[in-house]
Amino acid sequence: MIFSFLTITSSCKTVQHTVHNALICYGDFYPNTVSGLDYVVVEPQLFSPEDVSLLKTQNKKVLAYISLGEVNAAAVHYQEIKKETLQYNEIWNSYVIDIAAPQTREALFSLIEEHLAVKKFDGLFLDNLDNYTSFGPTPNNKAALVSFLKELKVRFRESVLMQNAGLQIVDATEPYIDIVAVESVASDYNFETQQYQMRSNDGFEERLNSTVEIRDTYNLPILLIEYADSQKLRTEILNRLKPYQFDVFVGQIDLQKIPEFRP
């Protein structure tokens, strides 16, 4: 799960690795400082249509962040859907949404219209889709999510859709998505202790095998999102993943500032 917060506006730069380069940043930055990347994922409320246009001329695909599983109280559409939210997520200070609810769907499509038709983003980074797996709070709404994605792809056929997490439901979402992002395959941030660390060998093998299976079964591109606070841990992550030829982005857990790695 990656969550975007509008109240943070720190500058961000790119972290580059492997064949494809990516930037995932929910803080503000000058668009003319980011170029040559395959994917740029940003908080859309911080960028004007002119900003998006400049980013698009300098990078291959510029995607707007949107959560299809939760909403933060700072989000522009929160007031429209807050009565339809289902429960509170303490870790991310957010609320689980009911994507089957008509008002919620209407609000989300209105937001997406702004991102894709008005600001002209190339596509969307779809967060919190793991909410609809058996490990999430709303597995019974998987069919509603899939119908939402189907309608989204009909309305915006040329848009690139990057699914974050939710590997368990890729068999259902695959017709409508173009790339899958997977968090913390090699690394394992501890939210209780706020410690960056490597994932256990058993945990790594399990997540790696699931990710490889998705890539090979559905022929979908994969972007791994890993977290580190030191150069040593970052190097360990990249070395661990190198044999598997995944595209990898490494940053800090909040993705709100320039990734900096202490020695």
**13 falls within a domain:** no
Q: Is the predicted pLDDT of residue 7 greater than 50, yes or no? A: no
φ/ψ region of 184 (left if φ > 0, alpha if ψ in -120 to 50, else beta) reads: left
Q: Residue 92: which pLDDT band, with cuts at 50, 70 and 90?
A: confident
- Looking at the structure of the chain, the number of domains it has is 1
Structural domain of 83: 22-251
CA distance 118 to 110: 11
Q: Residue 18: which pLDDT band, with cuts at 50, 70 and 90?
A: very low
**241 falls within a domain:** yes
**122 falls within a domain:** yes
Q: Are 198 and 205 in contact (CB under 8 A)?
A: no
Q: Is the predicted pLDDT of residue 20 greater than 70, yes or no? A: no
Average pLDDT of span 220-241: 96
Bridge partners for 179 per DSSP: 162
Question: What strands, in cross-sheet order, belong to the sheet with 94-96?
Answer: 70-72, 94-96, 87-89
pLDDT for 3: 53
**29 falls within a domain:** yes
Q: Is the predicted pLDDT of residue 17 greater than 50, yes or no? A: no
Residue among 218, 208, 202, 200 at smallest CA distance from 245: 208
**170 falls within a domain:** yes
DSSP 101-146: SHHHHHHHHHHHHIIIIIS--SEEEEE-GGGGSTTSS-GGGHHHHH
Average pLDDT of span 146-153: 98
Give tens-digit pLDDT for 100-142: 999 999 999 999 999 999 999 999 999 999 999 999 999 999 9
Q: Residue 194: which pLDDT band, with cuts at 50, 70 and 90?
A: very high
Residue among 198, 123, 135 at smallest CA distance from 165: 135
Task: Report pTM.
Answer: 0.90
Average pLDDT of span 150-178: 97
What is the helix (H) or strand (E) element at residue 170, kind and residue range? helix 170-173
CA distance 157 to 230: 41
Average pLDDT of span 235-248: 95
Up-side HSE of residue 160: CA atoms within 13 Å toward CB?
A: 22
**207 falls within a domain:** yes
**244 falls within a domain:** yes
Question: What is the rounded average pLDDT for all residues in the chain?
Answer: 91
Q: Are 167 and 132 in contact (CB under 8 A)?
A: no
Up-side HSE of residue 78: CA atoms within 13 Å toward CB?
A: 13
State the CATH number of the domain containing residue 123.
3.20.20.70
**Count H helices, E strands: the chain?**
7, 11
Bridge partners for 65 per DSSP: 125
CA distance 234 to 190: 16
By CB atoms closer than 10 A (0-12, 13-18, 19+), residue 38 is middle
Q: Is the predicted pLDDT of residue 45 greater than 80, yes or no? A: yes
**75 falls within a domain:** yes
